Structure 1
């Protein structure tokens, strides 16, 4: 109880950091608007890529365009929200290399929230809105037989997916505590994971699918929830209830990321500069 009271008392400080970032980034309005619009491009390209594939084929991994777009929408909404919220944790490498992290650690605030709020990329908000819009359009086009359970799953899945991707961002960024030049490795799992979840798992095979879809949990971000929403059996053989339980993968992912972060902070040694 005392810990939660302490955290609530620190909330105004975090809000002040957020307001400061918002004012700073919005001070040059034209540049801010251009950044907002241009940031939609990355998500739009993911959608366009899938649509282009369906110009030359009627099915992708056994799924038609409408079904595949549900997976694209779930993935896009989840990743864009995570990228907005924690994507800038990648600045950790610069903070560790330069010693700026020392100043963050001595403040009476959590190190991770500070890193996120001191440089929150509000320009990515348009990408998050676009990702949510893609999901809504895909669900409407799929003409699903809506039930209370499907409504809950449709809302919960992108939120859980955002937590999952946020965990990947934090865990891979934490490698900087041991290996400063780990940026490319981190991108392979964050942006690579986004690309992986954009397509049905049936287009992958062998150890690659086993490692990423099941071992790391990427298959439960969009593919299995999409099967549950669409009312389709899994061509890969898992039972139908997996789709309904899939959002639960966010819980262990968040716990692992938190553990890696805490271990990294304890491992950190000041540069002395």
Structure 2
């Protein structure tokens, strides 16, 4: 509980520091909002030309688009400290974190809460609400459970991926840009139903990186199309747990990386 209160204190300090320059914040917010709006415009242009992708309509794909962007926006804001970990390693500032009486993971999560990500967050919420409204999906307990667990599972998954990227930096020093295939590439992938991809691709993002478990399966139940992927209905309700498990594994790997660390020698 003490760690949780400390983390809230970290966020409060981050808010105050970023709001010192309000014009800069609002410009970044608008930039994020317009940038993600252009992304959805691309999805809309695709459907305006072809009407549907297989059995999927724009309204249905918009639900996938909305929930994955909401999850990624929050994860991106939370994981900024891990995302910039290579600079901390090279400057030797990680030594300072090691001598403090708190876990390094907590300190990096609290390093910066990036407010400008709420531009993507708001845009994702708007698209998701439009999708639910146009599909006439009522906000029952079942729907709220599926959307809520999908959100939390997605946040946990993306934070876990960023932590793994930072963990590799203990050995490589430089952050590997190839990991962006799983972060930004994962967002692009999950904006569409997984059924449209080839089988090996579906297996990769189901069993190795459980992107399908946190996004695709629960939304199949929301749309009442779980038979498309031949999964039992009960699995759609519990599959987002895979994102939390992925985060726990990433934190364990982070501890292994910490034991390997031997400072910069500066």
Deviation at 1:56? 1.0
Counterpart pick for 2:188 among 191, 195, 198: 195
Change in Cα spacing, 1:180 to 1:61, as seen in structure 2 (3 Å) is farther
Q: Unaligned regions of 5+ residues in structure 1, if any?
A: 1-6
1:112 maps to 105
1:50 maps to 43
Deviation at 1:146? 4.8
Moved more, 141-150 or 153-162: 141-150
- Does residue 230 of structure 2 align to residue 240 of structure 1? no
Moved more, 110-119 or 89-98: 110-119
Residues 31-180 of structure 1: pairs in structure 2 closer than 5 A: 31-180=24-173
Following superposition, which runs of at least 4 residues in structure 1 exceed 6 angstroms of deviation? none
Q: Distance in 1 between matches of 2:96 and 2:152?
A: 32
Change in Cα spacing, 1:251 to 1:31, as seen in structure 2 (3 Å) is closer
| Count of residues paired in the alignment | 266
Change in Cα spacing, 1:77 to 1:13, as seen in structure 2 (3 Å) is closer
Deviation at 1:42? 4.1
Q: Distance in 2 between matches of 1:43 and 1:147?
A: 29
Counterpart pick for 1:256 among 241, 244, 249: 249
1:3 maps to none
Structure 1 length-normalised TM: 0.89
Deviation at 1:62? 2.0
Q: Distance in 2 between matches of 1:28 and 1:233?
A: 47
Q: Unaligned regions of 5+ residues in structure 2, if any?
A: none
Deviation at 1:11? 4.9
Structure 2 length-normalised TM: 0.91
Deviation at 1:259? 0.9
Change in Cα spacing, 1:11 to 1:75, as seen in structure 2 (3 Å) is closer
Q: Secondary structure at the match of 1:63?
A: coil
Deviation at 1:231? 0.7
Q: Distance in 2 between matches of 1:226 and 1:17?
A: 34
- Whether the aligned pair in 2 keeps the contact of 1:212 and 1:218 (CA below 8 Å) is yes
